[in-house]
Amino acid sequence: MVFFLLLPLWFLCVVAGVVLCWFKNSRFLSSYFFLCPTVGIVVALVLSTLVLWVAPRMLNSTDSWAKWIIVASYLLGTEVGGVIGGVVGFSAARRVNRLLRWQ
């Protein structure tokens, strides 16, 4: 997904996480709403940037198929980075909740 669509969704999740932090019954959800999208977007950005930086160096060809491979690997890197970051954010949120005893 394109990053200009992800940033407003990320901001909405962060605001929801801050709002949930004020309610005692929903306080444990705030870490999930904050860490999952934040880590997901950071890892997706890093991985897709890494793909755009490495792929042209690996494919020195100027053929049209090489350009399509670079675009496809960029999109795949964005999606895979978001999933990996979401899982890491989920794991970090569970640790934060256990540390703060929010359950």
CA angle (73 as vertex; 40, 39 as ends), nearest 5? 10
Q: What is the pLDDT of residues 49-92, one digit of tens each?
A: 898 898 878 777 667 787 888 888 888 988 999 999 999 999 99
Q: Is the pLDDT of residue 3 over 90?
A: no
Alpha helices in 21-63 (DSSP H): 27-58
How many residues are there in the chain?
Answer: 103
Say if residues 89 and 39 touch (Cβ distance below 8 Å): yes
Stated pTM of the model: 0.83
**CB-hemisphere CA count at 13 Å for 63?**
5
Q: What is the pLDDT of residues 32-45, one digit of tens each?
A: 999 999 999 999 98
Distance, in Å, from the CA atom of 84 to the CA atom of 54, rounded to the nearest integer, reads 20
